C-alpha cells in the first residue's frame, strides 16, 4: 500500500520504518528540512536502537522523506498524523500541530478524485479530538465529507523508547478506532502481516485507551514508589515486596521497579493531559493528581537521603551517573535526573555528570553549571558522593564505587554487590 506520514518525530519515523519494513511504500513529511535530509541520507535523527540500519535497508526504495505534502500525497491509501501534541499548561491541551497537519492533509485530499483515502490519527490526542477537531478541519480544507469521501481512524501507538521498532512490529494489540467500516478495512489491510489482537472501537474510545494505558503505567510506578518509601522507613527492601506481590497475576511483576520515578515524553504528559480532560468535564481526578505528586517529589527523596547521611551538601562533590530518563535513549524529557541535579546545585553541591548517550542534550540544559566527565570512572574519581540515576549497564560495575558514598535511585546494584560499600538505595 502507499502510505503517507505527517510528522517524522519519534512516532512518525518508527511507524514509517515499520510499515516500510512490512513492504508498504512510505512517504514521510516533516517541516524540519534538516530532519528530512538526514532521513534521506539514511541517518536517524533520533537515538533509537536499530533504526539507522533499518533506514539503510529501506531508503529510498520503500521509504523517503519530503518537506511538502504536495510532493508526496498524490495517491496514498492512508495518511497517518504523527505530529506532537501536548498540554501547553495546567489547563490547556495544545493541538496546534495536529490541527495544522489536518488542514494540510485536507487541502491534499481536496485534489483527490475517486478512491477512498483514509486519515489515521496516531498522535496522542485527548478523547473527542478526532471527532471534534480533526474531522471538521479535514472537511473544511478539503470540501469533502468524512465517512463518505474519505475515512478517518484513530490508531494510538504504545511504543517504548529503546525498543520502539520491535514494539511496532510485535505489538500487544492494535487499537483501531473507526468512523466507518470502509476505513477500518483499509487500516486492517495496512497492518495485515502483524500478528496481534485487533481491538475495534469508536474514535473516542481508541483515544481514551491510549491515555488510560499510560496513566495506569504511571500509577503503577507511583504506587510501588509510595510502597517503597514506606519500606525504606521500615528497613524493608521494596524489591522483595514487589517480587512477592507481583506473583499474583492480578498485580503482575511488570512495571513494579521502585526508584526515582517515571520520566519521558509520555507518562508524565499523558497522565497530566488526562487530568486536564477530567477537570474540564467537572471531575476532579484525585488519583491521577496524586500519581503526579508522588512522582514530582520522588527524585528529591534521594537528595534528602544523601543529606541525612552526609549532612550539608554545600561544597560536596557529587557525581551523577545517568541523565537519560531510562537506558537505551538520549532523551531527557521529564527525566528525574533533572530535578536531582537542580536540587544538588540549589543545596550548594559541586556537580559532575556522566551519561553514555545524553550528554549533548544535557549541555543544552546546563551549559556551564556542571562538569561533564568523559567516563563513569572519571566522574566518580572526583566525587565524595555518587548518585546513580539511570540503569545503564556499565554502572553495574561495583568497582566504580569503592570508598564513595553511593545513593542508588535505580537499583543498579544488587544487595549481594554492596557489602563493604557505603551504599544506600532510595527504596531498599
Ligand atoms: C511509555 C510506555 O511504556 C509506552 O507504552 C508508551 O507508548 C509511551 O510511554 P517510554 O516512555 O518509552 O514508554 O518508557 P518506559 O520504558 O515505559 O518507562 C517510562 C518511565 O517509567 C521511565 O522513566 C522508567 O525509568 C520508569 N519506570 C518504568 C519505573 O520507574 N519503574 C518501572 O517499573 C517501569
Atom of ligand 1 lying closest to residue 160 CA: 12
Q: How far does residue 78's CA lie from ligand 1's centre (Å)? A: 29
pLDDT surpassing 80 at residue 297: yes
List pLDDT tens digits, range 363-408. Answer: 999 999 999 999 999 999 989 999 999 999 999 999 999 999 999 9
Q: What is the pLDDT of residue 63?
A: 97
3-state SS, residue 5 = strand
Got the DSSP string for 56-92?
A: HHHTTTTEEEES-HHHHHTT-SEEEE----EESSSS-
Atom of ligand 1 lying closest to residue 163 CA: 12
- Residue 332 backbone dihedrals phi, psi, to 5 degrees: -110, 5
Q: How far does residue 160's CA lie from ligand 1's centre (Å)? A: 7
Q: What is the pLDDT of residue 102?
A: 96
Atom 3 of ligand 1 has which residue's CA nearest to it? 160
What count of other Cβ atoms lies within 10 Å of the Cβ of residue 404?
Answer: 17
Which of the residue ranges 69-83, 217-231, 265-279 would you say has the lowest mean pLDDT?
Answer: 69-83
Q: What is the pLDDT of residue 87?
A: 64
How far apart CA 372 and CA 356 sit, in angstroms, is: 11
Read off the C-alpha cell for 306.
544523601
pLDDT surpassing 70 at residue 69: yes
How far apart CA 223 and CA 288 sit, in angstroms, is: 11
How far apart CA 1 and CA 282 sit, in angstroms, is: 44
346 upstream amide cis, omega within 30 of 0: no
Residue positions annotated with a catalytic role: 266
Atom 6 of ligand 1 has which residue's CA nearest to it? 158
Q: What is the pLDDT of residue 71?
A: 54
pLDDT-based confidence at residue 73 (cuts at 50, 70, 90)? low
Got the DSSP string for 302-359?
A: HHHHHHHHHS--TT-EEEEE--SSSTT----TT-HHHHHHHHHHHTT-EEEEE-TTTH
What is the arithmetic mean of pLDDT over 238-252? 98
Atom 15 of ligand 1 has which residue's CA nearest to it? 160
How is residue 146 annotated by DSSP? B
pLDDT surpassing 80 at residue 255: yes
Which of the residue ranges 43-47, 228-232, 251-255, 331-335 would you say has the lowest mean pLDDT?
Answer: 43-47
**Residue from 300, 214, 339 nearest 265 by CA:** 214
Helical ranges in 111-256 per DSSP H: 129, 135-142, 164-169, 181-190, 203-234, 238-245
pLDDT-based confidence at residue 113 (cuts at 50, 70, 90)? low
What is the arithmetic mean of pLDDT over 251-265? 97
pLDDT surpassing 60 at residue 61: yes
Q: How far does residue 255's CA lie from ligand 1's centre (Å)? A: 8
Please, what is the Cα angle at 282 between 280 and 285, to 5 degrees?
Answer: 85
What count of other Cβ atoms lies within 10 Å of the Cβ of residue 153?
Answer: 25
Q: How far does residue 217's CA lie from ligand 1's centre (Å)? A: 7
pLDDT, greater one: 86 or 217:
217
pLDDT-based confidence at residue 416 (cuts at 50, 70, 90)? confident
- Residue 151 backbone dihedrals phi, psi, to 5 degrees: -100, 155
Residue 322, phi-psi category: left (phi > 0), alpha (psi -120 to 50), beta (remainder):
left
What is the residue-averaged pLDDT of the chain? 95
* Binding site membership of 164 for ligand 1 (Cβ less than 6 Å): no
Burial of 78 (0-12, 13-18, 19+ CB in 10 A): buried
pLDDT-based confidence at residue 47 (cuts at 50, 70, 90)? confident
* Binding site membership of 160 for ligand 1 (Cβ less than 6 Å): yes
Atom of ligand 1 lying closest to residue 261 CA: 30
The answer to whether the CB of 8 falls within 8 A of the CB of 44 is no
Q: What is the pLDDT of residue 382?
A: 86
Atom 13 of ligand 1 has which residue's CA nearest to it? 160
The answer to whether the CB of 26 falls within 8 A of the CB of 12 is no
Atom of ligand 1 lying closest to residue 336 CA: 23
Q: What is the pLDDT of residue 27?
A: 95
Burial of 342 (0-12, 13-18, 19+ CB in 10 A): middle
User: Which of 245, 262, 322 to probe ligand 1 with, by most ligand atoms within 8 A of CB?
Assistant: 262
* Binding site membership of 267 for ligand 1 (Cβ less than 6 Å): yes
User: Which of 48, 217, 392 to probe ligand 1 with, by most ligand atoms within 8 A of CB?
Assistant: 217
Q: What is the pLDDT of residue 85?
A: 83
Q: Using the structure block, give the residue that is written with the C-alpha cell 506473583.
A: 247
Atom 22 of ligand 1 has which residue's CA nearest to it? 262
List pLDDT tens digits, range 82-101. Answer: 999 876 666 677 899 999 99
pLDDT-based confidence at residue 74 (cuts at 50, 70, 90)? low
Q: How far does residue 262's CA lie from ligand 1's centre (Å)? A: 6
pLDDT surpassing 60 at residue 72: no
Which of the residue ranges 86-90, 101-105, 245-249, 288-292 would you say has the lowest mean pLDDT?
Answer: 86-90
pLDDT surpassing 60 at residue 184: yes
3-state SS, residue 36 = helix
Reported residue count of the chain is 428
User: Which of 253, 264, 268 to probe ligand 1 with, by most ligand atoms within 8 A of CB?
Assistant: 264
Q: How far does residue 31's CA lie from ligand 1's centre (Å)? A: 28
Q: What is the pLDDT of residue 337?
A: 98
Residue 116, phi-psi category: left (phi > 0), alpha (psi -120 to 50), beta (remainder):
beta
* Binding site membership of 263 for ligand 1 (Cβ less than 6 Å): yes
Give the pTM: 0.96
How far apart CA 84 and CA 82 sit, in angstroms, is: 7
Report, in angstroms and rounded to the nearest whole number, the Rg of the chain calculated over CA atoms: 23
Amino acid at each position: 500500500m502507499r502510505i503517507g506520514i505527517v510528522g517524522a518525530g519519534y512516532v512518525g519515523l518508527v511507524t514509517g520504518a515499520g510499515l516500510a519494513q512490512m513492504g508498504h511504500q512510505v512517504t514521510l513529511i516533516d517541516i524540519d528540512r534538516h530532519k528530512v535530509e538526514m532521513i534521506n541520507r539514511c541517518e536517524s535523527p533520533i537515538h533509537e536502537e536499530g533504526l539507522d540500519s533499518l533506514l539503510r535497508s529501506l531508503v529510498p526504495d520503500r521509504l523517503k522523506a519530503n518537506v511538502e505534502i504536495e510532493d508526496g500525497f498524490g495517491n496514498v491509501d492512508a495518511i497517518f498524523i504523527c505530529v506532537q501534541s501536548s498540554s501547553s499548561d495546567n489547563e490547556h491541551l495544545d493541538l496546534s500541530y495536529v490541527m495544522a497537519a489536518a488542514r494540510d492533509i485536507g487541502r491534499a485530499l481536496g485534489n483527490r478524485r475517486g478512491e477512498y483515502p483514509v486519515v489515521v490519527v496516531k498522535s496522542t490526542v485527548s478523547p473527542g479530538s478526532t471527532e471534534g477537531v480533526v474531522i471538521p478541519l479535514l472537511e473544511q480544507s478539503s470540501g469533502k465529507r468524512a465517512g463518505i469521501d474519505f475515512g478517518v481512524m484513530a490508531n494510538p501507538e504504545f511504543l517504548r523508547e529503546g525498543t520502539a521498532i520491535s514494539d511496532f512490529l510485535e505489538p500487544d494489540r492494535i487499537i483501531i478506532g473507526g468512523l466507518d467500516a470502509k476505513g477500518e478495512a483499509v487500516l486492517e489491510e495496512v497492518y495485515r502481516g502483524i500478528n496481534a489482537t485487533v481491538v475495534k472501537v469508536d474514535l473516542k474510545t481508541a483515544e481514551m485507551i491510549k491515555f488510560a494505558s499510560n496513566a495506569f503505567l504511571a500509577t503503577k510506578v507511583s504506587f510501588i514508589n509510595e510502597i517503597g518509601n514506606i519500606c525504606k522507613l521500615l528497613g524493608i527492601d521494596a524489591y522483595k515486596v514487589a517480587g512477592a506481590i507481583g506473583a499474583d497475576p492480578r498485580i503482575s511483576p511488570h512495571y513494579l521497579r521502585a526508584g526515582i520515578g517515571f520520566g519521558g515524553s509520555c507518562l508524565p504528559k499523558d497522565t497530566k493531559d488526562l487530568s486536564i480532560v477530567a477537570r474540564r468535564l467537572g471531575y476532579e481526578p484525585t488519583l491521577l493528581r496524586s500519581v503526579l505528586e508522588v512522582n514530582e517529589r520522588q527524585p528529591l527523596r534521594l537528595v534528602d537521603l544523601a543529606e541525612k547521611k552526609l549532612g550539608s551538601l554545600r561544597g560536596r562533590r557529587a557525581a551523577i551517573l545517568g541523565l537519560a530518563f531510562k537506558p537505551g535513549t538520549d532523551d531527557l524529557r521529564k527525566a528525574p535526573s533533572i530535578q536531582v541535579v537542580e536540587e544538588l546545585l540549589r543545596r550548594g553541591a559541586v556537580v559532575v555528570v556522566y551519561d553514555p548517550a545524553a550528554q549533548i542534550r544535557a549541555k543544552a540544559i546546563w551549559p556551564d553549571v556542571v562538569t561533564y566527565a568523559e567516563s563513569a570512572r572519571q566522574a566518580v574519581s572526583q566525587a565524595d558522593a555518587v548518585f546513580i540515576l539511570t540503569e545503564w549497564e556499565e554502572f553495574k560495575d561495583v568497582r566504580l564505587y569503592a570508598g564513595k558514598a553511593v545513593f542508588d535511585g535505580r537499583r543498579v546494584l544488587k544487595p549481594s554487590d554492596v557489602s563493604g560499600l557505603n551504599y544506600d538505595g532510595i527504596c531498599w
